Structure 1
């Protein structure tokens, strides 16, 4: 294996058109990323970042005919503009694994790539080298493909051959703030909270590889991470500065494998440089080809609600055991689902409502899910926030979150114990006469809501004149948003009385 500053052996070449294309840099790149034109390079002339030693070259043109294809017309496109032969030599096992699950087509020229982008049978794109960054038309269409729902996986020899000055610009094309991180060998650990990981439990829990990391990304986007206290046994940056960057860079959060939403699609990155076998399953998982999806629910008229906690479902249900027991006595409760499964079930006519228990819904990784929840609630659904959400949300998050999503100018007042009275004008009180008329609660209070949306309001102190107008405060809110409803429970303990109110919001209180 070669370190960062090693110069790899050139792969043997043939007079094939692919070899000519791979060794001739594009004369002009509209993005300013043209290879070698007036740019000062660092270190050796050849900037192949840790590329593995070359293996015997197979000069055969790329083809999918050597393997019996599955009957489906769906296909994965291998986008290998720079050097398909080298990718095939190093990562041939990945090609075989993909072909065993879906048809594979290969594009080694810009024209071939563009001809496949609009195909309705395109299941995903595996970008195997950085050749595309020198072709503005491909970059523009690749960006649109992802943002309109496509799957893009960046891996193969990409991290070995991408120029240092180009990778940040590449990420920025997709609206990602990710930056080039350290280059090192470490043991990496699976992030079990990542949605792709939860959908693919067969992914390795940990493994060792040499990789180019990315940084400036949220933890929620990382599929694998290096433990904070672990010191790499083969750090390529050493103790001093490298390319003008010092030790402080290595202390930032970084990840060798990441995947996140970009628009309606997904962008995945794998920094592996040696073709580790564990990386193959990661590629498959990002292309939705690894573990089979859960079976569709059996036909039933059983109504259900979904609870989103983004944490261990078992731990959450233990902590709020009385709350979950009450819910399950009235309706089927689905908890711990993947984001994709939640989105799929939003269309079900048996869905009664959704209860959000965590501020993790605000994380970048969950932005697409949040947008679908907004659509669901405005379209006639019921979305309720409470439990740990109420204890964790900050004063700086409250107004932007509810204003941006639903146009609700809600602010918060620090939690305190107060006596509150039922609001007879609120529709929840009107249709549920069994709800208590008075409560004494320790809760987070909301201001800025319309008077009619407050389920309970603070009773003004007796020494305050009735002529003095005080801003209303409410520990529980149930507001109409277009055709649906938004609920908020300020008491994060979810006591018996709050549980009954949640049931009422979902029209389950009998």
Structure 2
């Protein structure tokens, strides 16, 4: 009996940095072991792929979707999400997106999310989060340390990873301070029949791989 076909995952790298693959080689290797990994580095390539394919998930690896020149791709991706797809925005996105572009991008998507604080602390899974598909808390790693570009103004049920109680900033340079626990590291929102996820982790972390694999249904 033939093995079932692997699901497809699309890496949308419209503003790709040359060191992306080196930084996230472990993540990409683990995705490739469970799915067929495709990549689009141009608007035309993305539109061509999405015109004939419906991937399990799209991972926007950078800030390319915030650029006006890529508006046709954004509209195509949003149509995919509304029809039940998953768009995960992260990896190099929080490193390279500007404050204004961050806020205006999510405003364009109808979300009140704003760019929040930037620091490292320990986060835990929010058991009140609304998750894509049939996912449960058991699929996600326990508390772990992340350096993140936080999101402000997310609703309680949109927050997937939040600072642990009494969380303090973690820095080799600055003294620890209590963090704003109303902000979140990883958030999601239902759009139509699908989901948009923002992952604010700016460094490759082993636990991040587990989070992304879980969100992609892998």
Is the TM-score greater than 0.5?
yes
What is the rounded CA distance, in whole Å, between the counterparts of 1:99 and 1:88 in structure 2?
13
Unaligned runs of 5+ in 1: 1-69, 240-246, 290-510
Alignment partner, residue 85 of structure 1: 18
Q: 1:195 to 1:220 in 2, by over 3 A?
A: closer
Q: Determine which of 21, 29, 41 is the counterpart of 1:96.
A: 29
The aligned residue for residue 159 of structure 1 is 94
Cα displacement string for residues 321-351 of structure 1 (whole angstroms, at most 9, x for unaligned residues): xxxxxxxxxxxxxxxxxxxxxxxxxxxxxxx
**Alignment check: 8 A CA contact 2:127 2:137 kept:** no
Structure 1 residues 293-331: Cα deviation after superposition (integer angstroms, max 9, x where no partner): xxxxxxxxxxxxxxxxxxxxxxxxxxxxxxxxxxxxxxx
Which residue number corresponds to residue 373 of structure 1? none
SS of the residue aligned with 1:266? strand
Q: Deviations over 1:268-312 (max 9, x none)?
A: 1111111111111111111111xxxxxxxxxxxxxxxxxxxxxxx
- Runs (4+) of structure 1 exceeding 4 A deviation are 235-239
* Aligned 8 A contact 2:122 2:145 in 1: yes
Alignment partner, residue 115 of structure 1:
48
1:263 to 182, 192, 200: 192
Question: 1:266 deviation in Å?
Answer: 0.4
Which of 181, 203, 206 aligns to 1:274? It is 203
**Residue of structure 1 aligned with 2:72, choices 137, 142, 150:** 137
Shift of 1:71: 5.7
Task: Tell me the SS of whatever aligns to 1:118.
Answer: helix
C-alpha separation between the residues in 1 aligned to 2:110 and 2:146? Answer: 28
Q: How does 1:37-48 map to 2 (within 5 A)?
A: none
Bigger Rg over Cα: 1
Structural mapping, 1:168-207, within 5 Å = 168-196=103-131, 199-207=136-144
Structure 2 unaligned segments of length 5 or more: list them.
none
Q: Secondary structure at the match of 1:186?
A: strand
- Larger RCO: 1 or 2 (CA < 8 Å, sep 6+): 2
Question: Conserved in 1, the CA contact under 8 Å of 2:147 and 2:203?
Answer: yes
CA drift of 1:200 comes to: 4.9
Q: How many residues align?
A: 211
Q: 1:92 Cα deviation (Å)?
A: 1.1
TM-score by length of structure 2 reads 0.87
Superposition deviation, residue 120 in structure 1: 4.1
Distance 1:285 1:171, change over 3 A: same
Tell me, yes or no, if the aligned pair for 1:185 and 1:235 is still in contact at 8 Å.
Answer: no
CA distance in 2 between counterparts of 1:125 and 1:141 reads: 12
